[in-house]
Amino acid sequence: MNQGLNIKCKSILDNIGIITMAEYTYPMEIDIADKGKSVFPAGNPSYSGKASLWVEKYRPQSLDDVAAHRDIVDTIDRLTTENRLPHLLLYGPPGTGKTSTILAVARKLYGAQFHNMILELNASDDRGIDVVRQQIQDFASTQSLSFGVKPSVKLVLLDEADAMTKDAKFALRRVIEKYTKSTRFALICNHVNKIIPALQSRCTRFRFAPLDTVHVTERLKHVINAERLDVEDSGLSALVRLSNGDMRKALNILQSTHGLSEDNRRSYLPLHGKSIAQRH
């Protein structure tokens, strides 16, 4: 195997300490501005750009690739196939496949027209009423760019919708009512109790629970093999325990540790899980 990630105790402990300070101090789950998608040291050009993140690189591209929550995925897949997709509210802890599921639905619906037919916003950044009145309403009111026999419904994806202001949520309710024939809305959040009842009642709700250890382990093994990393079984088990069912967290820890160890790649430092558990 490649010596790129032959991580032993000291390296993994030091690196996880850095990650904990940077990303994983949060109330309940992850409610941070960057949504946990960038936890790497500033100033290192090798970590610049969304494309370099393993969270994005290994995001499932189709509904068949979404291994966990098959009951939810199969239900949404059936509704999509039958052209009966409702407005959706997907809620639950971070890193459980909510965004990946919706993006896979969009790829199935639109194929090559994917980027013309979907508006993706992170509501923790674009959270005010002006965004609803301008970006969202403008997108929903314009004619579909689909080249099919009849226009397809467009899709608005609002990630971290629980971060929207109260006024923005009420304005969004009115937009959903007005453009429901031409546009579907998918709201994603960690805390469903922060979504006003008027919005909840207009959506079909699905709860995404933390991933079980089997699915986290299988996905991590896939990434480890694809990146040609050398990780001991004890280290993999410790990483799965640390993730607490959060796939994004697991991948960020793995990539951060790998990236930090690259600066000292000539040092032979294997990964050992017992010391990780003792540290946490």
CATH code of 144's domain: 3.40.50.300
Residue that terminates a domain, selected from 207, 226, 241: 207
pLDDT at 25: 28
Side by side, which strands form the sheet with 204-207? 118-122, 154-159, 183-189, 88-91, 204-207
Does one domain contain both 130 and 219? no
Report the distance separating Cα 270 and Cα 256, nearest Å.
Answer: 15
Does one domain contain both 185 and 92? yes
Lookup result for tokens 């430092």: 269
3-class SS letters over 81-145: HCCCCCCEEEECCCCCCHHHHHHHHHHHHHHHHHHHHEEEEECCCCCCHHHHHHHHHHHHHCCCC
Does one domain contain both 105 and 165? yes
Contact indicator for 222, 231 with CB cutoff of 8 Å:
no
pLDDT at 261: 65
Does one domain contain both 141 and 83? yes
Number of domains the chain contains: 2
Report the distance separating Cα 68 and Cα 77, nearest Å.
Answer: 14
Does one domain contain both 19 and 85? no
- Please enumerate, as own/partner, the contacts of 20-23 that have beta carbons within 8 Å and a separation of 24 or more: 23/249, 23/252
Report the distance separating Cα 197 and Cα 218, nearest Å.
Answer: 37
Contact indicator for 188, 160 with CB cutoff of 8 Å:
yes
Three-state SS at 196: coil
At 170, phi and psi to the nearest 5?
Answer: -70, -35
- Residue 123 maps to a domain: yes
pLDDT at 158: 94
* Cβ contacts of 87 within 8 Å, gap of 6 or more: 176, 180, 184, 185, 186, 187, 202, 203, 204
Does one domain contain both 178 and 267? no
- Residue 53 maps to a domain: no
Any idea what DSSP says for residue 150? S
Nearest Cα neighbor of 167 from 205, 131, 125, 136 is: 131
Instruction: State the CB neighbour count (10 A cutoff) for residue 232.
Output: 15
Q: What is the pLDDT along the chain (280 residues), one digit of tens a residue?
A: 444 444 443 344 344 433 332 333 222 232 223 444 433 333 333 344 444 899 999 999 999 888 889 999 999 999 999 989 999 999 999 999 999 999 999 999 998 888 889 999 987 776 677 888 888 889 998 876 555 544 578 999 999 999 998 999 999 999 999 999 999 999 999 999 999 999 999 999 999 999 999 999 999 999 999 999 988 999 999 999 999 999 999 999 999 888 776 655 544 445 555 444 444 4
- Residue 271 maps to a domain: yes
Residue that terminates a domain, selected from 207, 235, 269: 207
- Residue 46 maps to a domain: no
Does one domain contain both 196 and 216? no
pLDDT at 126: 64
Domain that holds residue 250: 3-40+212-279
- Whole-structure pTM value: 0.75
Residue that terminates a domain, selected from 189, 207, 225: 207
Does one domain contain both 200 and 78? yes
Does one domain contain both 218 and 262? yes
Domain CATH number, residue 221: 1.10.8.60
pLDDT at 9: 38
Three-state SS at 38: coil
Does one domain contain both 192 and 220? no
Does one domain contain both 151 and 270? no
